């Protein structure tokens, strides 16, 4: 039978429908299969010799086709069995549905038959409801009659602070009220209506005294809790009673919430004013009691030294309260209260608020120091919250800092500004005192080493070091800020000090003979010693600063050492000006004809130099040596300047010898005056006094033809000598011909060497006076 015959269930041969008309997909699949087979065969049998394996391919394909037919038959058989099982299940389900439908019809008929009987029981149900209401009224009458008396009795117990008894009576009254409300609610629910508002108001009015009792009892409870820290040592019993009542209320709240609000609970409403959450109120009252200690503090009561005393009183009060909580109250409450932690939280928060308020006041430096020291050191010290028994509680509570990092930074900045204002005022006063000392008609004071000094460096040094020491008690950061501020103020002071020195010098130059300026030089030397002391103090302060402090300040760092150097240079310049002023009366007579004969005024010059050098010995090193060396340079420069003025022009070899001999004698006198420099080993690398013998040798040279050689040695030692200086020396000799002069000057022009490193010019400071000749010959070289 073909597939079409199986499909039509064995119809007559004349009625058979072609397979292609019933399943067109079969014809398309067969065409695709034939095409694929032809493609495969054309690939396999492309050559005649391949036909020998035709039987093998036919056998293999027959086996594959048989295998596919077998699997198809097995699959179709499995599907047919599943369809048969499903049809059987449907038949069984239809039978069961018919039985259930029949049973439901019978139940409906029986229900309709019993409806008439239920109507006859409605009157009995109404009678039962009335009976229950009457029974509830009769059973509650004794309670209702005794409510008023119980309220009065409970009020008396509350007033006498018999709190446990009062709370027991109050719980009875609340239970009666709750029962009555529930009975009324149940009666209303049975009758199919909700509890009326009039019934609720009636019950609330009748039990109005209960709510007042709750308020009165709560007020007494919180009064006991708030005063526990003060009276618990004498009598902790009221506090214990208060805690027991709080725990009863908390347990009752929990039970009511679980019974009536939780899953599976009844629909009974919560009693009025429940839950009370008195445990939370307990901790709130405790926090309020702690904060009350800070609320009474006023600004006026804590000004100046009073603030430190106030903080000390807070410390003792908090530690006393903590001792009371830890050793007494902690044993009066359940362990889960963690009363010590609660007190720590409350006191920490109140302290934080209180200190933020204090920080906002217009505090002075001493007050800010007291706050910073208390916050950073005392609060966390073993004497307070760093106590070994409190460390664990503090870590558990994770309270954080008492003042935030930003608040501490603001306080420190405020402290530095306050100290800066004070330091600036003190420095100004010290400078004014210094200026007044300069007008005294006596020598400056001396220290134990004999050096001149005034009170200025002592005041400044002690003030800055004391501020740095006090700031270090707070921390290195504040110490660095304070030192930085002090260095800024030191720089400002030194700038003003230098300006005062300039004005001091101007005033002295206006009237040098004024008796008030008698000790002018002495106070200049004292000022130099003062600067040396201030330099040591400044370097000490800079060494105290931490290495990271320089990067913490955005503004330009102070440079007091540069200001010190400028002030010292100005003071030394004024000292040299005074030396020149004292030498000036004798300088015009130097290197003149009378000087050549009598040797005057060199001894007088040496006397002035010795007097000045003796005073320079009262200056602290290294400025003492610097002044002595500068005096030496000044004397030589003025001596050579006098020589350049051609006050003496030699007319013979004998005069040249006398001039050179007198210059050598002067050199010897100067060396004797400056022997203190040689004695302490502070002679400069280039001794200016060595110039005088060189010039003397140049003048007394007998053979003018050797002047070129002598000049070579002079230029090698003093490369800054100019053509004008050499011309003057040649003029002083008085025996140099025009040819030799030209040769000497040409040699100088050709051999002018550069100045060596570290060489201090001496001829650069000596100007040659202009020539007095009216004109120069065209053939002569101008001198």
Distance CA 372, CA 366 (A): 10
Per-residue H/E/C for 231-288:
HCCCCCHHHHHHHHHHHHHHHHHHHHHHHHHCCCCCCCCCCCCCCCCHHHHHHHHHHH
The predicted structure's pLDDT at residue 605: 93
Q: Following CA atoms 296, 299, 304, 308 in sequence, which dihedral angle do they give, to the nearest 10 degrees? A: 30
Q: How many C-beta neighbours within 10 Å does residue 331 have?
A: 11
What region does 309 belong to: left with phi over 0, alpha with psi -120 to 50, or beta? alpha
| Domain 409-549+557-578, second-level architecture | Orthogonal Bundle (1.10)
H-type alpha helices, 651-753? 653-673, 675-679, 691-700, 707-717, 723-733, 738-750
CB 534 within 8 A of CB 494: yes
Distance CA 605, CA 586 (A): 7
Domain boundaries, the chain: 59-259, 278-403, 409-549+557-578, 591-699, 701-753
Task: Read off the pLDDT of each residue in 114-124 and give the average, rounded to a whole number.
Answer: 73
The predicted structure's pLDDT at residue 195: 53
User: Which of 154-168, 468-482, 671-685 has the least mean pLDDT?
Assistant: 671-685
Chain mean pLDDT for the chain: 82
Distance CA 680, CA 661 (A): 29
Distance CA 732, CA 718 (A): 19
73 or 680, greater pLDDT: 73
The predicted structure's pLDDT at residue 354: 87
Does residue 179 carry a pLDDT above 80?
no
Does residue 220 carry a pLDDT above 60?
yes
Distance CA 243, CA 229 (A): 14
Closest alpha carbon to 201 in 221, 227, 181, 172: 181
Chain centroid to Cα 708, Å, comes to 74
CA 533 vs CA 21, 452, 499, 617, 649: distances in Å: 126, 11, 19, 16, 51
Does residue 779 carry a pLDDT above 60?
no
Distance CA 16, CA 696 (A): 158
637 or 400, greater pLDDT: 637
pLDDT (tens digit per residue) in 270-283? 777 778 888 899 89
Distance CA 248, CA 217 (A): 13
Distance CA 220, CA 242 (A): 9
Distance CA 454, CA 438 (A): 9
Q: Token match 């599943």: residue?
A: 82
CB 143 within 8 A of CB 176: yes
Distance CA 186, CA 142 (A): 21
pLDDT (tens digit per residue) in 455-468? 999 999 999 999 99
Task: Read off the pLDDT of each residue in 25-32 and give the average, rounded to a whole number.
Answer: 83
Closest alpha carbon to 730 in 713, 750, 708, 749: 708
Q: How many C-beta neighbours within 10 Å does residue 696 have?
A: 21
Does residue 630 carry a pLDDT above 60?
yes
Per-residue H/E/C for 16-78:
CCCHHHHCHHHHHHHHHHHHHHHHHHHHHCCCHHHHHHHHHHHHHHHHHHHHHHHHHHHHHHH
The predicted structure's pLDDT at residue 781: 44
User: Which of 32-41, 360-369, 673-682 has the least mean pLDDT?
Assistant: 673-682
pLDDT (tens digit per residue) in 415-431? 999 999 999 999 999 99
């Amino acid at each position: 039978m073909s597939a079409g015959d199986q499909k039509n269930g064995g119809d007559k041969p004349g009625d058979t429908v072609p397979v292609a008309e019933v399943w067109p997909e079969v014809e398309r699949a067969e065409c695709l299969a034939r095409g694929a087979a032809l493609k495969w065969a054309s690939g396999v049998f492309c050559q005649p010799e391949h036909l020998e394996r035709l039987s093998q391919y036919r056998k293999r394909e027959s086996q594959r086709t048989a295998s596919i037919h077998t699997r198809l038959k097995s699959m179709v058989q499995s599907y047919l069995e599943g369809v048969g099982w499903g049809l059987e299940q449907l038949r069984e389900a239809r039978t069961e549905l018919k039985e259930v439908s029949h049973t439901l019809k019978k139940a409906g008929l029986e229900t309709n038959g019993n409806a008439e009987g239920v109507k006859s029981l409605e009157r009995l149900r109404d009678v039962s409801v009335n009976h229950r209401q009457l029974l509830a009224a009769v059973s509650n009458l004794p309670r209702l009659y005794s409510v008023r008396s119980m309220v009065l009795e409970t009020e008396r117990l509350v007033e006498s602070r018999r709190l446990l008894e009062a709370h027991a009576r109050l719980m009875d009254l609340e239970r009666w009220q709750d029962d009555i409300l529930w009975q009324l609610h149940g009666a209303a629910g049975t009758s199919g209506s909700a509890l009326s508002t009039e019934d609720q108001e009636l019950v609330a009015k009748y039990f109005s005294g209960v709510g007042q009792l709750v308020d009165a009892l709560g007020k007494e409870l919180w009064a006991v809790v708030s005063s526990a820290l003060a009276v618990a040592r004498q009598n902790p019993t009221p506090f214990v009673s208060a805690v027991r009542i709080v725990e009863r209320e908390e347990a009752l709240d929990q039970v009511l919430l679980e019974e009536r609000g939780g899953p599976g609970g009844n629909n009974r409403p919560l009693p009025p004013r429940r839950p009370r959450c008195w445990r939370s109120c307990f901790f709130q009252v405790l926090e309020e009691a702690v904060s009350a200690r800070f609320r009474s503090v006023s600004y006026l009561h804590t000004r100046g030294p009073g603030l430190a005393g106030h903080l000390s009183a807070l410390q003792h009060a908090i530690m006393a309260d903590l001792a009371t909580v830890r050793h007494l109250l902690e044993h009066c409450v359940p362990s889960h209260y963690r009363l010590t932690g609660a007190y720590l939280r409350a006191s920490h928060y109140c302290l934080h608020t209180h200190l933020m308020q204090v920080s906002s006041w217009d505090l002075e430096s001493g007050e800010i120091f007291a706050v910073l020291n208390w916050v950073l050191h005392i609060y966390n010290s073993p004497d307070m919250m760093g106590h070994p028994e409190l460390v664990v509680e503090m870590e558990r509570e994770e309270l954080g800092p008492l003042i935030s990092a930003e608040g501490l930074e603001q306080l420190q900045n405020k402290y530095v500004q306050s100290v800066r204002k004070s330091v600036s005022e003190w420095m100004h006063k010290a400078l004014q005192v210094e200026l007044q000392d300069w007008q005294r008609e006596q020598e400056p004071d001396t220290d134990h080493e004999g050096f001149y000094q005034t009170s200025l460096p002592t005041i400044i040094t002690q003030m800055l070091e004391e501020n740095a020491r006090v700031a270090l008690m707070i921390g290195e950061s504040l110490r660095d800020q304070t030192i930085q501020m002090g260095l800024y103020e030191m720089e400002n002071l030194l700038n003003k000090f230098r300006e005062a020195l300039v004005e001091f010098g101007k005033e002295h130059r206006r009237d040098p003979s004024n008796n008030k300026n008698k000790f002018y030089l002495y106070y200049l030397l004292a000022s130099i010693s003062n600067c040396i002391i201030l330099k040591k103090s400044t370097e000490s302060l800079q060494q105290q600063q931490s290495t990271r402090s320089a990067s913490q300040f955005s503004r330009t760092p102070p440079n007091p050492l540069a200001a010190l150097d400028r002030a010292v240079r100005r003071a030394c310049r004024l000292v040299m000006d005074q030396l020149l002023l004292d030498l000036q009366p004798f300088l015009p007579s130097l290197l003149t004809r009378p000087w050549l004969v009598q040797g005057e005024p060199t001894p007088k010059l040496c006397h002035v130099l010795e007097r000045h050098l003796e005073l320079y010995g009262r200056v602290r090193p290294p400025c003492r040596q610097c002044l002595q060396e500068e005096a030496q340079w000044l004397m030589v420069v003025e001596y050579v300047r006098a020589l350049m003025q051609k006050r003496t022009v030699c007319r013979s070899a004998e005069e040249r010898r006398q001039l050179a001999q007198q210059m050598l004698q002067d050199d010897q006198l100067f060396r004797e005056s400056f022997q203190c420099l040689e004695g302490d080993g502070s002679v400069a690398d280039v001794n200016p006094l060595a110039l005088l013998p060189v010039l003397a040798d140049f003048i007394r040279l007998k053979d003018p033809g050797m002047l070129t050689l002598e000049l070579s040695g002079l230029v090698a030692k003093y490369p800054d000598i100019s053509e004008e200086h050499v011309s003057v020396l040649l003029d002083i000799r008085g025996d140099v011909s025009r040819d030799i002069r030209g040769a000497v000057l040409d040699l100088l022009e050709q051999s002018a060497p550069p100045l060596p490193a570290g060489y201090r010019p001496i001829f650069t400071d000596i100007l040659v006076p202009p020539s007095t000749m009216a004109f120069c010959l065209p053939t002569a070289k101008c001198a």
